[in-house]
Every structure is written in C-alpha cells, then in structure tokens.
Amino acid sequence: MSFDFITKKLIQQQTQHRYRQRICVAEQNGREVTIAGKTYLNFSSNDYLGLNKHKKINQAMQEGIDRFGLCASASSLVTGFHYAHQSLEEHICLWLNKPRCILYSSGFAANLGVLQALGQENSNFWLDKLSHASLLDGALATKATVKRFLHNDVEQLAQWLNKNHFDKNQTKQNVSDNLIITEGVFSMDGDRAKVAQLSEIAKENDAWLYVDDAHSIGVIGEKGQGSLSSADPDIVMATAGKAIATSGAFVACNEQLFEYLVNFSRHYIYSTAMSPALAWATKASLVLIEKEQWRRDKIKELSALLASKLNDEIQLIPTESSIHAIIIGEESKTLAVCEKLKNKGIWLTAIRPPTVARNQSRLRVTICASHNNKDISYLAQCLNEVLN
C-alpha cells in the first residue's frame, strides 16, 4: 500500500501520547476562550497585550477594506504592493529605528525566506539550540554550514567563532559570512536571549545577528520594541499575530539587505502580498502598543502575582515575558494535568515532544494584559491543587 508509513506514524503518536488534534474555538480573547459551548479562562493565548478585538484596530481594518480592499490581488512585485503596505513599513522603521522593513505573510515564511536567501555555500549559520522550528527548517534548507550552540551559551558561541569551528574540509578563506541566529524571547521557556552580548560577539567576529522577536515585540521595552530596546541586531523578524493582534510578519534590516530580499527572497517574490486592510489594521495596533505602556506593566504585575501564589514546589522558568513554563516531564502526566485544569475551567495546552525535548513536556502559561488579579489567583489555586 502506498504511503503506509502514515498509519504507522499516527499510531506511534498515539502510543507516545503525542497525538495532536485541532479544537474548534467558537470565540476567544486574551482572557477567555469558548469551546464546545463552555467558556474557560484562557492561559494559552498569544494575545499578550489583550489587543484582539480592540475597537480601534477593528475600525482600521474596516477602513482598510473600504479603501484598499481585503485582498492585495497580486504579489508585491506585480501590483500587490499598496500604500497601506508602504505606510506600515515606514511606521515600523521609525518605531524600531531601522532603515528598511519588508512584509511577509507569516513568521514562518519570513524566517524561511530570509535564511534561504542568505544561505550560500560560504555562509555559516550559528543557531541557539532552542531556536524555533522555522529557523531550523530555514537554515537546514540552505547551502550554509549550520552549527547549534547550547541554549544561551554565549561563551561557547564566542569560542566557536574565534576558532572558526567548522568541518575540516573548509578553510578560513572560503568561510566569510557568519550569521548568529536566536529568538528574542524563547517561545517554550519564556526566557530572553542575551541579545546585547550576542550583538557584541557578532561585531567582534564580523558577523550579523538575526533575532526572531515573535514573542518579544510589543511586550519588551518602554514602547514595545522588543530586543531592539536593549541592543541593535542586524536583522529583526517579528510576527503580527501575537502581541500585535493581527497577522503576518515583518523583517527590519539595512537598505542593502532589503534590496537583496526583494530580489532573491522566494517567499516574498512568489507570494501574494499581505492583505492591505490587514496592514492598515496592524499600523493602528502599533500606535496603541507604543502609547499604552500600562499593558506591559500589567503583564509584569500579574506575572509577579502568579509566582508569589504558587507553592514552593512548583518551579517557573525565570522570565521577563508573558510566557511562564512549568515543566511536568512525561507526556501522559502533562495531558492528565491539563484535563484536570480543564475540569476546573482553566484552558492550558500540553506542550510535548518534538516541540520540546523528551521528558520536558510542560504547561506553557501565558499571561495577557486582559487578565486580572482574580484570574491569576484562581489559576495559582488550581495549579497548586493539581500539581500537589
């Protein structure tokens, strides 16, 4: 039978408690989610700033539809690049203090699009061990030599770069383009990359620093600039579908790289452009993000509250973000904990391999600005009970 491995793989997933199924959501916001007629406190959302369904963003979306239409109708290099796109790119450049910005359909597409364009035979990619799947996929799909340094181990990275740590077949003369790749906030642990140190290492070794800021943008920094609030990476990718509460992604970079991506990034060249109405709504969201510091302050306050109310036996991975990881271990045990929380009206998704390492299955708790003190207290109470 053709493709009989499909059945075998699915059975294996079920046996290992890693089987994944979609769940239809009737309605959700940063605080609650309604599934199969029941409403739960939602601690799995990436709507970190609680901006989803914000009236001003919705109004901007409708204005964009009326003015530009919902669909771009072509790729950006044909007739798909609208004034809405140009306006959003210019706003991002001013916000992040970067010369140029280019829009992609998603963060996954952006990471693949940039890395595949940069991954030439004389390119060397240095990835943090916990880099997102899209970064790893993008890197491995190129001609570049790929090395993965231990998570946040800047000393190991520096040693490798200093020693030009590559295969014996390579020489110093044909190894010239080094790209350090990391996440600003790591999606499963919630901890931050040592971006300032990585930036210094990059400069010392004539390398570039690429930061995936999907979980940092909007949440970190006084105006939500993410990693750019503490350092100046050469390339920053960020998604709009999390704290920004719309969809799509952007890459902020220098002028020359921008021109190169326009000419050689296949994910940009051959994809229909982002909806212009969506770009218009995204710009409205950025205005709110820059002005409303209280949203970031509230995440910090609620995060501190959660940590203070958990039993001492429950360990949170240190974080400055919205993401709070609680390691459970075995897949079956993690699923059982999630089911107990669900019965108490708490929605948390079990994160299992291969998303995380074996025996590292966890609860990935996300705190949003739309939560309140009562929500956090109830969450802590439930966690203390089910993890006892």
Q: Which of 47, 89, 128, 183 is catalytic?
A: 183
Amino acid identity, residue 134?
S
DSSP 36: T
Q: Which of 89, 189, 212, 331 is catalytic?
A: 212
242 is catalytic: yes
Contact between 327 and 191 (Cβ < 8 Å):
no
Catalytic residue among 76, 123, 187, 303: 187
The one catalytic residue in 54, 82, 91, 132 is 132
46 has catalytic annotation: yes
CB 157 within 8 A of CB 126: yes
**Any catalytic annotation for residue 91?**
no
* Catalytic hit among 44, 46, 76, 370: 46
Catalytic residue among 85, 215, 298, 371: 215
Q: Is 187 a catalytic residue?
A: yes
CA-nearest of 227, 211, 181, 200 to 321 is 227
- Catalytic residue, chosen from 242, 267, 283, 298, is 242
Q: Is residue 216 among the annotated active site residues?
A: no
> Beta 350-351 vs 208-212: how paired, if at all?
unpaired
Cα distance between residue 334 and residue 316, in whole Å: 15
Report DSSP state, residue 184.
S
Tokens (6 digits) for 186? 């790591």
Q: Are the beta carbons of 144 and 118 closer than 8 angstroms?
A: yes
Sign of CA dihedral 50, 51, 56, 59: negative
The separation between CA 219 and the C-alpha centre of its own chain, rounded to angstroms, equals 12
Q: Which residues are catalytic, by number?
A: 46, 132, 183, 187, 212, 215, 242
